[in-house]
A and B are shown apart, each in its own frame.
Chain A
Amino acid sequence: MTTLPLPAWGVRPKRVLPGFGLTMGVTLAFLGIVVLLPTVALVLKGAEIGPARFWAIATAPRTFAALKLTLLAATMATIFNALYGLLMAWVLVRYDFPGRRLLDALVDIPFALPTAVAGLTLSALFSANGWYGAVLEPMGLPVVFTIWGVAIAMSFTSIPFVIRTVQPVLEDLDPQYEQAARTLGAGPFTCFVRVVLPAILPALVVGTTLSLARCLGEFGAIVFIAGNLPMKTEIASLLAVIRLEEYDYNGAAVIALVLLLIALALLAVSGLLQALATRHRGRAP
């Protein structure tokens, strides 16, 4: 993997901004060493295994259960994040109230907190004798050691992605669009659905995708609350660690590859949705 900062052939094109060669070189070198090379290594490792064995490992009951749980919980968490994150961004942008800045700062806490701390805190709160658990368990809604616990931990660490991507777009949205819609006879709800939502949809898609990706990869916060019962509440990344500790490199690589494929598919879907949501930004005449 070598990266050449400048093309060694032909005439050097003149550029208005200086420093292209250097900055591009550093960028490519970094991306190559830190992102691309490990990914390629992982794919190569997976290729060594061979498709038949790969399939066998990936669909082994315990692996399959872990992948299924991870995907399901991540989807639950992301749906919640998309809705609640949008609501939260709306409240932070559209209303002025005492404590708004404090609330705004609180949003970043899941990012700032070490995930292990978040996991410990959540499991303490939701355990049978914790503040929340003491209320929920008697109602027949156990959280700790269930998929709900996994989803809650995922949601906790990833919701800022939605809020922080939607918030600036909502802030920049010119109120004239909504005012125009109102004077054309649209009610507040119609106005939101037909004018505001299309404008913030690209940002919402990006935020939701990032949030889902983070949910799939979350580890620290979940392992404390999930209980990690094989076939029940064991997440995929934890299983990969277990395989590695058992010196089962192939098993770990398969799980990692599946997660990687899901992440790539997510990026592709997100790009597609964004293109759809921004297709109106045509060229000016």
Chain B
Amino acid sequence: MTLQISNMTRRFGPVDVLRGIDLTIGEGELIALLGPSGSGKTTLLKIIAGLDWPDAGGLSVQGEDWLPKTAQERRTGFVFQHYALFPHLKVRDNIAFGLTVMPRAQRPGKAQIAARVEELLHFLQIPALADRYPAELSGGQRQRVALGRALAISPPVLLLDEPFGALDAQVRRDLRRWLRGVHDATGTTTIFVTHDQEEAFELADRVVVMGAGRIEQTGRPDEIYDHPATPFVARFLGLTVEIPVTLRQGRAEAPGLDTSALPRRAMADGPATLFLRPADITPIPDPASPFRLTALTTTGATHRLVMEGPADCRPEAEVARRSAAALTVGQTLRLRPEAGQIFPGGPGAQTLPAAADNPRFKESTP
């Protein structure tokens, strides 16, 4: 189903949670709403489900206005972060719930419901769990049941709030692939919320990056990764090193910086900021450079370098263990970025949305 959100705003007391969201989602797409906590992504998802209401704006599905409809009428089968499985019902009855509460006239027969549940249990690879209660399941199993419960009603759009947020790393990776498989098999338009860029990029057809109630960028994962549209997106995607530069003929220049590996940009001359990933920086010993190595720590396979440069600039770099063998704290280094993004304006010109103080912020799961 196609889904259209136009100019949607939502405010909780003094806080603008959504400030004008425009988004169109196509039939069968798998969309990730990616952003730090407080960016409004879960609110947007709840509005689509009918669990919250916008102050202004429109929401339509297949051209039909959804805002006057209740959550009950929309039947999206919202999947909560902590699953919200009904504790007093067995797995089989949890999955059947949405079918058994249908109005009598449309409700399938008992045998039909049982058959549908059986089919889903096999499809989700959990037939052995059918007669257990949610309290007897692991987190990953609960997530599968929660998805089964939502899929049972064949929702027009499947909504998942931080679907893997409460799981450990290994289960997370397995379930991610599994969810992608489920989506490809059912073709249900799916929107999920996450603060984990790896998750969003691996799973989604299209990623919507949100910050402080606005959409910062929408695009395919590789597009966003290679071409972050705003400093906010750049920071959120791990381009955490910011070096003030001067643009001259499309090339960034700064003392101690070797930008020969970066392509020229069609941008006006003037002050700008170069955004880099720590792993994309190669440090080269150079006595003339203003960047002095102040700390050298190891995380196993890589070394982490902290340097001090002019104007309070403290770039960090990550290099492979063997190439850091010759480095000693106190020596000066020239920085050679292999990739990076340039945004016009000097330091401080890239005003940050309020919620994005720490771009690598990980939402804590309660």
Contacts and interface: CB of A to CB of B under 8 A. Distances in A.
Interface of A: 174, 176-177, 179-187, 190, 194-195, 198-199, 277, 280-285
B178 interface: no
Given A179-B84, A282-B135, A284-B136, A185 B98 contact: yes
Contact of A184 (B70, B137, B153): B153
Nearest to B50: A183
Nearest to A195: B86
A190 B135 contact: no
B101 A185 contact: yes
Given A182-B72, A185-B72, A281-B133, 17 more contacts: A174-B84, A177-B86, A179-B51, A179-B84, A181-B101, A183-B49, A183-B50, A183-B51, A183-B72, A183-B75, A183-B76, A184-B75, A184-B101, A186-B101, A194-B86, A280-B135, A285-B137
A280 B78 CA distance: 23
Band of interface residues on B? 20 to 34
A285 B153 CA distance: 28
Contacts of A185: 72, 75, 98, 101-102, 153
B149 interface: yes
B74 interface: yes
A179 B52 CA distance: 10
A198 to B, nearest CB: 4
A176 B88 CA distance: 15
Chain A binding surface SS class: helix
A229 to B, nearest CB: 47
B108 to A, nearest CB: 13
A194 B136 contact: no
25 contacts: A176-B80, A176-B82, A176-B84, A179-B51, A179-B71, A180-B84, A180-B86, A181-B97, A182-B71, A183-B76, A184-B98, A184-B101, A184-B150, A185-B101, A185-B102, A186-B72, A190-B101, A194-B101, A198-B86, A199-B87, A280-B133, A280-B135, A282-B136, A285-B136, A285-B137
Contacts of A281: 87, 133, 135
A285 B136 CA distance: 6
B64 to A, nearest CB: 17
A177 to B, nearest CB: 5
Interface of B: 49-51, 70-72, 74-78, 80, 82, 84, 86-90, 97-98, 101-102, 132-138, 149-150, 153, 159
Contacts of A190: 101
Contacts of B87: 199, 280-281
A284 B137 CA distance: 6
Contact of B70 (A180, A181, A182): A182
Contacts of B101: 181, 184-187, 190, 194
B89 A179 contact: no
B86 to A, nearest CB: 6
A198 B87 CA distance: 9
A184 B84 contact: no
Contacts of A283: 135-136
Contacts of A282: 132-133, 135-136
B34 to A, nearest CB: 23
Nearest to B106: A185
Contact of A199 (B88, B97, B133, B150): B88
Give the most central of B78, B88, B98: most A CB within 10 Å: B88
A190 B102 CA distance: 10
A190 B87 CA distance: 16
B86 A183 contact: no
